[in-house]
């Protein structure tokens, strides 16, 4: 994929593939909010800028391909925005709440251990919203019926019906579709773990493999639905459950791609551990600092670094980080005669760690003198 190179034009190819999938699914389900579109819009704008700024560095065919893909995504995004204009104030806020509840119910429906109480609490929220309507219609404070009220009522009814179905089925999937469910369930869970621990375990191949599996399952649908071995389409409950897992997985991939740091895999080990060290130092600073310099010793964390001079990994502590400067060649970290991406990011992070450690040390010394 393009982990560590998300400021270059090729990153747009991988990322727009995921964005296009998300946009297609949002268009298909027609259940989304303005918040869903904000991040996608920002990312597309950033990608268009990156493609434009690096167009002289790549083949014109690649630039044309990427530009066309971005244009298609922008058109799809514009159509989705237009469809949201159907809702007049103050409906959008309640609409977003319903979308959130619907997704929370789908999440509860796909947990490894089903919880009826979790769904019942969400169902209670739906009933509270229903009580705010008058005879099934949503009106403003002055009694007027805003545009989109009928769609709101239909969505609320859909949510209530789905809550009943989920409570009845309790996450049980028929054997004929269980293999597909198990694959999607595993992918969703693994991506969720990556979203939490990505700094330590995300590799370039991870997202590519997940995306390929998802694309294959998504494209196996016939007229929008999956068929069992006998050619029978999945019932609505199964279809919605599988679609939720696919869409949630695509969303995780998108989130991981846009949050990946512009640092190459070769420099990620030191970068990731420095990030952790920085967070520790910030937490210590925000909690009042340290009473003595000795308390900083636990934060003199050992950091692995591949030495271009010896060809071996060395281990550095905070007190030794300045020696990294002497390991550079012409101001760059060279690994196997290669210049890994992320030189500036790593150097900046090192400087931040030095600064935080220095501030804590000075504060501790001043307190000791006082």
Residue 222 confidence (pLDDT) above 70: yes
- Residue 277 is encoded by which pair of tokens? 């060290």
Interval 291-297 mean pLDDT:
57
pLDDT 10s digits, 88-112: 888 888 899 999 999 999 999 999 9
Residue 315 confidence (pLDDT) above 50: no
Better-scored residue on pLDDT, 102 or 285: 102
Which residue matches tokens 């434009």? 52
Which residues, 6+ apart, have CB-to-CB distance to 65 below 8 Å? 13
Strand segments (E) across 42-145: none
Q: In this structure, how many other beta carbons lie within 10 angstroms of the beta carbon of residue 175?
A: 7
Can you give the pTM of this predicted structure?
0.72
* Weakest mean pLDDT among 114-128, 237-251, 346-360: 346-360
In order of start, what are the domains of the chain with their CATH numbers?
Answer: 1-85 (1.20.58), 265-369 (no CATH)
Q: Is 245 left (phi over 0), alpha (psi -120 to 50) or beta?
A: alpha
Q: What are the Cα distances from residue 219, in Å, to 17, 43, 157?
A: 14, 25, 30
DSSP 260: S
Q: What are the Cα distances from residue 135, in Å, to 123, 130, 145, 265?
A: 19, 9, 12, 59
pLDDT 10s digits, 115-173: 999 999 999 999 998 888 776 677 777 767 778 788 888 899 999 999 999 999 999 99
Residue 6 confidence (pLDDT) above 90: no
């Amino acid at each position: 994929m393009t982990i560590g190179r998300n400021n270059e034009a090729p990153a747009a190819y991988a990322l727009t593939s995921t964005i296009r999938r998300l946009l297609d699914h949002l268009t298909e389900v027609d259940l989304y909010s303005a918040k869903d579109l904000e991040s996608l819009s920002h990312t597309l704008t950033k990608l268009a800028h990156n493609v434009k700024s690096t167009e002289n560095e790549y083949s014109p065919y690649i630039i044309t391909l990427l530009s066309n893909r971005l244009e298609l995504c922008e058109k799809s995004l514009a159509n989705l925005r237009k469809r949201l204009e159907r809702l007049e104030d103050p409906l959008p806020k309640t609409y977003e709440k319903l979308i959130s509840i619907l997704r929370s119910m789908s999440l509860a429906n796909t947990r490894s251990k089903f919880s009826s109480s979790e769904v019942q609490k969400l169902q209670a929220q739906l009933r509270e919203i229903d009580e705010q309507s008058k005879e099934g219609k949503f009106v403003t404070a002055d009694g007027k019926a805003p545009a989109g009220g009928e769609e709101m009522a239909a969505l609320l009814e859909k949510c209530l019906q789905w809550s009943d179905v989920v409570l009845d089925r309790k996450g049980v999937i028929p054997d004929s579709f269980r293999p597909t469910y198990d694959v999607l369930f595993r992918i969703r869970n693994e991506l969720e773990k990556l979203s939490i621990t990505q700094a330590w375990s995300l590799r370039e191949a991870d997202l590519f493999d997940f995306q390929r599996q998802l694309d294959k399952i998504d494209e196996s649908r016939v007229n929008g639905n999956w068929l069992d071995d006998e050619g029978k389409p999945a019932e609505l409950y199964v279809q919605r459950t599988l679609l939720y897992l696919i869409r949630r997985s695509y969303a995780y991939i998108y989130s991981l791609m846009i949050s990946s740091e512009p640092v190459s895999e070769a420099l990620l080990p030191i970068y990731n551990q420095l990030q952790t060290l920085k967070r520790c130092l910030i937490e210590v600073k925000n909690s009042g600092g340290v009473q003595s310099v000795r308390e900083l010793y636990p934060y003199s964390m050992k950091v692995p670094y591949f030495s271009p001079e010896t060809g071996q990994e060395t281990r550095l502590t905070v007190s030794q980080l300045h020696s990294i400067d002497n390991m550079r060649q012409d101001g760059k970290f060279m690994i196997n005669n290669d210049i890994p991406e992320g030189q500036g990011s790593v150097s900046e992070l090192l400087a931040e760690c030095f600064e935080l450690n220095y501030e804590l040390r000075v504060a501790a010394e001043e307190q000791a003198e006082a």
